[in-house]
Structure 1
Amino acid sequence: MTAERPVRIGAQVQPQHASYADIRRACAELEEIGVDVIFTWDHFYPLYGDPDGEHFECWTTLAAWAEATERVELGALVTCNSYRNPQLLADMARTVDHISARDGGEGRLILGIGSGWFERDYDEYGYEFGTAGGRLDALDRDLPLIKERWGKLNPAPTRSIPVLIGGGGEKKTLRIVAEQADIWHGFGGPDTIAHKHAVLDEWCARIGRDTGEIERSAGVSPRPERLPEDVADYAAGAEALHAVGTRLFTVGLNGPRYDLGPIRDLVAWRDSRAR
């Protein structure tokens, strides 16, 4: 299914409980270490720790990262579809794509997107929370509008911007992935991820899409089931996910002191597989 794809390592630099100087420093170090993708997330408040702690907005952060980095791909894991008009989001993504391009080359943006779930964001910023099904229907409706707007913008995006969809719903989310995404990102252990891959493959078969066109991505657990609770082995966690088809492996990093040790381990693991 994905054996021909290279292993890639991602780091989600969570924009919480840290100054922007801390965040920018972490991104610079991650690029030097050799990660393939740096992600942020799209929330307005911390997801854990002090709920009113320091926090920064997603897309202005991505624009700054696009200027400050040279090689890595960039994106949100994931943008909330509810927070921005799809036509505006398309223009924002196109602009960040151009900011990230170097010497006439292609841009480095990945449009990571999902239907949204963090109710406090909605309540505090005045968005209608609605229902999970309604938010997924909106995502299904808006993705074609985003792609259509990309075709109208002047200048156009520098490349066909990859679309990453996060979420594991089997009736709606994975159908939308099969129809509209280039990357699927999921959560869970190898058995869960393997099952989701099988469901996604079924959706691809129904619509006649080659399953190999969709890169499989997942968050890496530090504690595979076979290890005791006091042992953290990110490479072992990645190896278990690799065995079921995952090729993009991402670790979440929390401020203010971003621990890059797991990323160094995963980059070394990636490079050892390539030898």
Structure 2
Amino acid sequence: MTSPQNRAVRIGVQIAPQHAQYSQIRETAAALEELGVDVLFNWDHFFPLSGEPDGLHFESWTMLAALAEQTSRVELGALVNCNSYRNANLQADMARTIDHISGGRFIFGTGSGWFERDYDEYGYEFGTAGQRLDALAANLPIIEARWAKLNPPPTRHIPVLIGGGGEKKTLKIVAQHADIWHSFSDVATLEHKLGVLAKHGDAVGRDTSQIEISTELKTRTPEQADELHALGATLFTVGITGPDYDLAPVRDWLAWRDAVNAA
């Protein structure tokens, strides 16, 4: 794994799979790869998260397989997969398959799930946040064990991205399993949570400075992004949504990335 000191800044773009036909999503993914983004993400939900609640929407994993075939350079994954929706061994096999389709560009982004409508309409037990986190903690070792058994095996160590900022359970899971940790933290929050993460790492015997730090840019300024980068964040994500995927913010953040990496 690349050391934190040598890790370049990367820009990931989350193409929200909502309010657009798949042809638009396909064209947007091609345009983003041409622009030079580093990672393409979608999300793992069954209904729109904003706008018309019953608007156009597409499923995550089947889309990722198609995007893996369509692209040639970008990494890709969900931001994030919902652990509750699929058997752990199946998740591992699906991830391995997309890893092969993409030639080793798949990121296994995962989390415990939160959108209750998904659960209710698709027949999953919603339970409590704690129960869902416990299920994620239980499933990740199963997923890792399945990767070791599959034939053929993954083409590489599939990076595990874990999303969420809960200090008692989520960050403990991050310390145990994640190659990338994603959150929505501002500067003060990130500084605090990195300290919490380091303590969890000490408890399990892991140097958490090796975990890549990812954060959502949202409405942040370049100056705020600079501050987050100074704390160690190197993967910055930009969200875009249908029906008209606006690439202008992506171009601006790519320019910022290139300037930071050239410094």
Same fold (TM over 0.5): yes
Partner of 2:73: 71
Instruction: Say yes or no: does 1:52 pair with 2:54.
Output: yes
Partner of 2:167: 170
1:41-190 superposed matches below 5 A: 41-101=43-103, 107-190=104-187
**Which residues of structure 1 form unaligned runs of 5+?**
102-106, 224-232
Partner of 1:37: 39
| Counterpart-to-counterpart distance in 1, 2:105 and 2:81 | 16
- Answer whether contact 1:216 1:248 (CA < 8 A) is retained: yes
Partner of 1:241: 228
With the length of structure 2 as denominator, give the TM-score of the two structures: 0.96
Divergent runs of 4+, >4 A: none
Instruction: Say yes or no: does 1:269 pair with 2:256.
Output: yes
Structure 2 SS opposite 1:56: coil
The structural deviation recorded for 1:207 is 1.6
- Answer whether contact 1:2 1:215 (CA < 8 A) is retained: yes
1:217-228 superposed matches below 5 A: 217-223=214-220
Structure 1 SS opposite 2:52: coil
The structural deviation recorded for 1:75 is 0.4
What do the CA deviations read for 1:157-190 (whole angstroms, capped 9, x no partner)?
1001000000000000000000011000001311
With the length of structure 1 as denominator, give the TM-score of the two structures: 0.92
**Which residues of structure 2 form unaligned runs of 5+?**
none
Equivalent residue for 1:252, pick from 228, 239, 245: 239
The structural deviation recorded for 1:80 is 0.2
- Answer whether contact 1:83 1:127 (CA < 8 A) is retained: yes
| Counterpart-to-counterpart distance in 2, 1:3 and 1:199 | 21
The structural deviation recorded for 1:121 is 0.2
Query: RMSD between aligned alpha carbons?
Result: 1.1
Structure 1 SS opposite 2:232: coil
- Answer whether contact 1:16 1:255 (CA < 8 A) is retained: yes
The structural deviation recorded for 1:45 is 0.2
| Counterpart-to-counterpart distance in 2, 1:141 and 1:60 | 25
The structural deviation recorded for 1:57 is 0.2
The structural deviation recorded for 1:3 is 3.1
- Answer whether contact 1:189 1:221 (CA < 8 A) is retained: no
- Answer whether contact 2:218 2:239 (CA < 8 A) is retained: no
Structure 2 SS opposite 1:10: strand
Bigger shift: 253-262 or 203-212? 203-212
The structural deviation recorded for 1:240 is 2.5
**Partner amino acid for 1:51?**
P
The structural deviation recorded for 1:33 is 0.8
Structure 2 SS opposite 1:170: coil
| Counterpart-to-counterpart distance in 2, 1:7 and 1:211 | 18
Identity, % of aligned positions: 64
